[in-house]
Amino acid sequence: MWKIFWRRFRRNKLAMLGALIIFSLAVVAVIAPLIAPFNPNQQDILHRLEPPSHKHLLGTDDLGRDLLSRIVYGTRVSLFVGFVAVGIAIMIGSLLGLISGYFGGRLDSLIMRFVDIMLCFPTFFLILMVIAFLEPNIWNVMVVIGITGWPGLTRLVRGECLSVREREFVQAAKALGLSNRRVMFVHLLPNVMAPILVSATLGIGGAILTESALSFLGLGVQPPTPSWGNILTAGKDYITLAWWLSLYPGLAILITVLAYNLLGEGLRDVLDPRMMAE
Amino acid sequence: MEKILEVKNLSVEFYKGGKVIPALRDVSITLKENEVLGIVGESGCGKSTLALAILKLIPEREGKIVSGEVLFKREELLSLSDEKLLKVRGDRISIIFQDPFTSLNPLFRIGNQIAESLALHRKENLSTYQIEEEIIELLELVKMSKPKDTMLSYPHQLSGGMQQRVMIAMALSSNPEVLIADEPTTALDVTIQKEILGLLTELQKKLGLSVVLITHDFGIVAQTCQRVSVMYAGSIVEEASTSEIFHNPLHPYTKGLLESLPSREESRDFSQGEKRRLRAISGQVPDPSNLPSGCKFHPRCPIVIEQCKPEEPRLREIIQNHWVRCIRAG
């Protein structure tokens, strides 16, 4: 099965490109200390706002810190936030979706109405509000993005479950004497994995964007820890003097989110047998 | 012989769009040890519902068991807690479904699917090696030619007949005492059908199983069953031993079903110019949400009289061990 998946996936050039970029970013995040030319927080006031040069490939910021190093370290924050936030969303979303779709009835109505309510909130403002009450730090940001990101997924998973649970092997599994829990997690979950995977991949891109936006507004990752969002914020005051401070972190966000979207779309095509015919 | 499974006055209702649909009405069957009991009837008469109801597998959101008892070795099943029920389901009573194509989880290798059932029902803890041995043994029991290859296959790589063998192997993995086979061969073509039925009969004798065989095919009944219950519109209309049913059918519905079968002698006669048209039962199975009054068969019955219409007849023992629900019989 993995062989078939891999063969189809390899044919999808854009998805491969996305996967490649994400893989490289992950490597960069892991070995950041090895490839960053400078300590990202080392200030050098004499060389502040230097344009890109041989010494500082992407220039320096208003405190003379090396921009490349800061962006490299920012990769860590972005990917970390993306993964953890989406991880939380996936866990809540798939669990509620499974329960809702498998058991149906009142429980289903209850969960779905709750989802409807959640979807009514403008998510970003909800996040802003929560962060305003809590302390803005990386953990709070991750958790808040995570627990506001699940409703769409719940609906998706529930819909899939509704169709899978009517298939006979679910009944066969029950007739075999399997408990509800086992039927749900061992037999149902793998069969609804495809949409979860796709939605997770697309969700990571979204989470990274949200984190950047929060950091840009000063409610996300706090300086001096570098994150793409807060580098941008710092850069916007000097945009007429030092364009590189706004351009490069912006590019980093753009490329990363684009890569996730390409991968997500690619996965959707690869995992959806209906799209194969086209 | 000892009674192993007894269904007493079982009634099941389904709910659809606010309407109550009586799927089973007051059904009683008795399965004795080492016996194959056939349940025969047209599509939609409640055969499969009966199979599901015995193991309390009627989906709760669609319907429920309104009344009745299911006794397995004198123990009432329907009132058991879910937890205790799981120890009977698939363990001492196994079920094989109609369609093997959809009854196997498409994402698991055959070996793993059987292993799941083994791990669940065997009391002792088996090592991986032992489990593998058992799986191969089971696959050999159901006459798979290459058990080791089969173990590693996914369901879509097997043919329908092979998939049904796997389903039988899974059903047998727990050493059940009762096997419920819900139209085990309907989805298969005729030659495979014969093989699977032969296999089931052989296993039944070898392992001393008691089997409830649900089918709409009287030919299958003749080959495999000792006793037959004929169902119509959610209730039993006739019950007798197989030879009795074939030689002395008493209910007009049973007669109709038997007359609609071609027999071998007659098909030979075709070549000699003699013709007997196969007779179909006129009309259709009544809509279960809108059953006729009185005897449910009266709108289609060739020997209907006025007295059939007001009240539903009781099941009466006309000859010893031959029960019929018809006021004109006997």
pLDDT per position as a tens digit, B61-91: 788 899 999 999 888 988 888 888 888 888 8
Task: Give A15-50 pLDDT, tens digit per residue.
Answer: 899 999 999 999 988 888 888 788 878 777 777 777
Distance from the Cα of B195 to chain A's closest Cα (Å) equals 22
B interface residues, A as partner, C-beta within 8 Å: 52, 55, 57, 60-61, 86-91, 94-95, 97-99, 102-107, 116-117, 120-121, 154, 167, 170, 174
Which residues of chain B are within 8 Å of residue A179 when distances are taken between CB atoms?
Answer: 86
Distance CA B242, CA B36 (A): 10
Which residues of chain A are within 8 Å of residue B103 when distances are taken between CB atoms?
Answer: 168-169, 171-172
Return the minimum-mean-pLDDT range out of A49-63, B34-48, B159-173: A49-63
Task: Give B45-62 pLDDT, tens digit per residue.
Answer: 888 899 999 988 888 778
Q: B260 phi and psi, to 5 degrees?
A: -85, 0
Task: Check residue A90 and give its pLDDT.
Answer: 93
Interface ipTM = 0.70
Q: Measured between CB atoms, which of A104, A177, A187 is closest to B121?
A: A177
Pairing assessment for the beta strands B36-40 and B178-182 based on DSSP bridges: unpaired
What are the structure tokens assigned to B193, written together? Answer: 């059908």
Q: In chain A, which residue's Cα lies nearest the Cα of B87?
A: A177
Q: What are the respective helix, strand and coil percentages of chain A, to the nearest 5? A: 75, 0, 25
Task: Give A223-236 pLDDT, tens digit per residue.
Answer: 788 888 888 888 88
Distance from the Cα of B49 to chain A's closest Cα (Å) equals 13
Q: Measured between CB atoms, which of A104, A176, A186 is closest to B170?
A: A176
Peptide bond into B262 cis (omega under 30): no
Q: Measured between CB atoms, which of A171, A177, A190 is closest to B107?
A: A190
Q: Measured between CB atoms, which of B102, B103, B154 is closest to A1?
A: B154
pLDDT at residue B330 greater than cutoff 80: no
What are the structure tokens assigned to B289, written together? Answer: 């949400």
What are the structure tokens assigned to A164, written together? Answer: 């899978």
Distance CA B230, CA B315 (A): 12
**B287 compared with B165, residue with greater pLDDT:** B165
Which residues of chain A are within 8 Å of residue B154 when distances are taken between CB atoms?
Answer: 1
Distance CA B147, CA B111 (A): 9
Does the beta carbon of A107 lie under 8 angstroms from any beta carbon of chain B?
no
pLDDT at residue B187 greater than cutoff 70: yes
pLDDT at residue A278 greater than cutoff 50: no
Distance from the Cα of A263 to chain B's closest Cα (Å) equals 23
- Residue ranges and CATH numbers for the domains of chain A are 2-33+62-276 (1.10.3720.10)
Half-sphere CA count of B183, side-chain side, radius 13 A: 20
The mean pLDDT of chain B is: 87
Segment A99-110 shows an average pLDDT of: 90
pLDDT at residue A119 greater than cutoff 80: yes
Segment A195-204 shows an average pLDDT of: 89
Task: Give B199-255 pLDDT, tens digit per residue.
Answer: 999 999 999 999 999 998 888 888 889 999 999 988 999 999 999 999 999 999 999
Distance CA B48, CA B43 (A): 9
Q: Is residue B19 helix, strand or coil?
A: strand
What are the structure tokens assigned to B207, written together? Answer: 């392992």
Which residues of chain A are within 8 Å of residue B88 when distances are taken between CB atoms?
Answer: 177
Task: Check residue A275 and give its pLDDT.
Answer: 47
